[in-house]
Amino acid sequence: MTTGLLASVTSVAEALIVLECGADIIDLKNPQEGALGALPLSTIQEIVHAIAGRKPVSATIGDLPMHPGQIASAVEKTAAAGVDIVKIGFFGQVGHPECIGAVAPLTAGGVKVVAVLFADIDPDFGLLPLLSQAGFHGVMLDTAAKNGIRLGDSLDEKSLRQFVDLSRSLGLLTGLAGSLSISDIPKLAEISPSYLGFRGALCRNSNRNNGLDRSHLAHAVEVLRKSNTSQQKTVEYQQPLLLVPF
């Protein structure tokens, strides 16, 4: 399975750089407003217009409390701005099933929603069946604290693989993010998530609050391309040889 690259952007200019460099998903986020800080709806609309359907566009709703009505309203407004996917952060430990239920009518109406669980705050993988039943499009793992703690500092490879495999078995798109570096790509690509998400590693001086660095982004795209090719060759090599009689 091929893994795609999700690149988080803050402006039309950054979105066009991501489009040009060949990332697979253009993700709209305001890193100065938290782990999943939201951009203004007007900025989201501008970026959607500029991309014009050439790549899928996702957007976060912000670091909101787990209040079902507030979550559902934010999802509805963000979807109305024209994005392809809306991302919800599941913060804390309470209110998650209620928020999933509040969003279910929107997914039934065709809104593609991705849940974001946080590796550094004891993510509940028991929510995965609920997300699938509620019609969520996908689920990803990220880190809530943007203080240098990385995805691998909180969950080991076995746990990440279990997350991806269980999510996929439930029909959910899968994503891994959380202060990833470009050097993480080959190992994480072996787990075969649907995509890997980046912000800081693609920015100047690897600081998520700085602007994107085109060379970093191009390098990430190339490393992932090579990793996907290597992974595909490994899978083909492991396939059993079929002997066809003449």
Residues acting as catalytic residues: 29, 87
Long-range (24+ apart) CB contacts under 8 A made by 11-18 are 11/43, 11/47, 12/43, 12/46, 12/47, 12/50, 14/211, 14/212, 15/47, 15/50, 15/51, 15/57, 16/50, 17/212, 17/214, 17/217, 18/55, 18/212, 18/217
Q: Please state the length of the chain.
A: 246
Pairing between β-strand 173-176 and β-strand 138-142 as defined by DSSP bridges: parallel
218: left (phi over 0), alpha (psi -120 to 50) or beta: alpha
Identify the CA nearest to 218 among candidates 59, 23, 67: 23
